[in-house]
Chain A
């Protein structure tokens, strides 16, 4: 560890060192990684079954700040998967319940909440001070708005979605890897935002895996899913990883080029 890294690691408090001592013994995971996490902000677009789980696991891993964006109120039918929600909150805004749940478990995390949808107009503002964005909204227009803003401003994105017992995920490093638009050029107008079948344990599994990806992208630990897509089906317990390519004619990221980053 060089002098600067030693200085950073020393800024972890005694409480931090005790609270996170079990993950600080992970192979290759150092105090420097933990310090980076502590000083990072993740934008979570969607605190449902996927994004809510991601937010929870980022919080208990020691991220410094979460920005939660999700519009709407809690309904009974959300409770089979949205792990941050509680029965007594039905009829109230979900981001408030998500913040309360996270801060009961990890009171040191700063949680900023926005009862809004991601739009082309507001997305840049949400991601401006984020180190990573997590894409977990149940519709294509919001995923596209987040993708386009993140590509424009160079913010990495953890993209993940599920349907029934299937899920996929990949990580986007703008200018280096395919963006959402490179892979899925047109939103599918047949998609019903509130109609997809979902088992909470599956959306939670995906959310946990996206939290691991976000931690890797933030800290430099491990190898993120750059230019690869992980697909899994939990009915059959099948896992596949495929290579994915940038579209040189992509209107969102096609002209963007960046030098190879440390996480490649």
Chain B
């Protein structure tokens, strides 16, 4: 059985944590929240999540091939 893998795209200030968009093998019942904890990203209630181009909640379950976008609020004007 092949390992399920997701791609993570980070936005704004989070982008600097990684040199490129990380891919991550996921475990059974993995959610956005658990991925954030595994990446050691400091979770913030204001973060916006998009899963495969759709608005998602932190509790959304992840599947092989998913593309997760993590968007912190920014305010540069």
Contact = CB atoms under 8 A, between A and B. Distances in A.
A143 B75 contact: yes
Contact of A244 (B45, B55, B76): B55
Interface residues of A, number: 40
A162 interface: yes
Contacts of B53: 240-243
Interface in A169-222: 183-188, 191, 193, 196, 198, 203
A236 B72 CA distance: 19
A50 interface: yes
A242 B76 contact: no
Interface string B29-53: 0000000000000001110101001
- Kindly name the residue among B48, B53, B74, B76 whose own CB sees the greatest number of chain A CB atoms within 10 A: B76
A46 interface: yes
A231 B54 CA distance: 13
Contact of A161 (B48, B50, B75): B75
Given A136-B77, A186-B45, A191-B75, A163 B12 contact: yes
A196 B55 contact: no
A187 B12 CA distance: 15
Nearest to A202: B76
A44 to B, nearest CB: 10
Interface residues of B, number: 22
A240 B75 contact: no
Nearest to B72: A188
B54 A163 contact: no
Contacts of B76: 49-50, 138, 161-163, 167, 196, 198, 203
A183 B11 contact: no
Contacts of B74: 161-163, 166, 168, 191, 196
Given A188-B44, A245-B55, A138 B50 contact: no
Contact of A138 (B16, B54, B75): B75
Interface of B: 9, 11-13, 15-16, 44-46, 48, 50, 53-55, 69, 71-77
Interface of A: 46, 48-51, 135-140, 143, 160-164, 166-168, 183-188, 191, 193, 196, 198, 203, 229, 231, 233, 240-245
Given A139-B75, A166-B11, 6 more contacts: A163-B12, A163-B74, A164-B12, A203-B77, A231-B71, A233-B15
